[in-house]
Amino acid sequence: MLSYRHSFHAGNHADILKHATLCLILEALNQKDKPYFYGDTHAGAGIYSLASEHARATGEFQGGIAKLWQTNDIPSMLAPMMNVVKHYNGGGLRFYPGSPLFAKAMLREQDKLTLNEIHPSDAPLLAREFKSDRRAHIDAMDGYHFCKDRLPPTPRRGVLLMDPSYEMKDEYKKLFNALQDGLKRWETGTFALWYPVVDRGTIDELERKIRRHVKRPTLQVELALAPDSDGYGMTASGMIVVNPPWKLPEQLNELLPWLANTLEADEAANQRLHWLVEDA
């Protein structure tokens, strides 16, 4: 349908979890001098103005990045993410970077990026943002074809972010099938899947499939601002990370309660961090 625009939601609580996790993964990859690959199946526009009509229409960033921006006591696990946000802002919070710009800021000269966005409005903005970046290759394909068409990557170290819009009911099936395709081609790569919690039954089914079919260590983290609900709207969001860096569970275990407290999560909300597939 291609109706989803992330500009309405940039900088919300789900972005905080997604980008904090992503930046910790990139920081871990940066510990070795060997080059690595960053891939993004649904990359978006690159950067978002928090003064735009879209951002002001929802005000979602006020419950996310705006709260962190006003906090002086930032834990060390959040520093990689917040350093990038500060990089794209001056004295005041005006912009929120999308996942490609977190990667752009954190990757080294020797690393490579392949960024994919099919939306006819966002794709040209993404291409313009990276037009002078020699590390980057820009695609405009169906994001669910990325794993078949672009993996395994060169270099073989790296991470693939899979962050679709979930506009259609079959997207969880497509996401899981793409993950399976990706692991067949790049078994040792890190796959980071973001998802919204709108219907718990759908997430439960995705978890069951991963437990049953994925043979690599897989970590799941969820940041919830409200308890599960049958009503409309996202109460939580999560990241499923296949082949996570070894320090990531410990880092998220420390960061998750801090985020829940700082973003003023309901006391009844259930924060989750556990292995879906045990690390051998």
CA distance 171 to 194: 12
Q: Exposure of 6 by Cβ count < 10 A (0-12 exposed, 13-18 middle, 19+ buried)?
A: buried
> Which residue(s) pair with 177 in the sheet?
none
CA distance 196 to 249: 20
Task: With CA atoms as reference, report the closest residue to 239 among 276, 269, 268, 211.
Answer: 276
CA distance 267 to 146: 39
Task: With CA atoms as reference, report the closest residue to 96 among 223, 195, 4, 8.
Answer: 8
Kindly name the residue from 149, 163, 199, 204 that is annotated as catalytic.
163
Based on the residue annotation, tell me whether 163 is a catalytic residue of this protein: yes
**Rg of the chain over CA atoms, in angstroms?**
17
CA distance 174 to 194: 13
- Active-site positions? 163
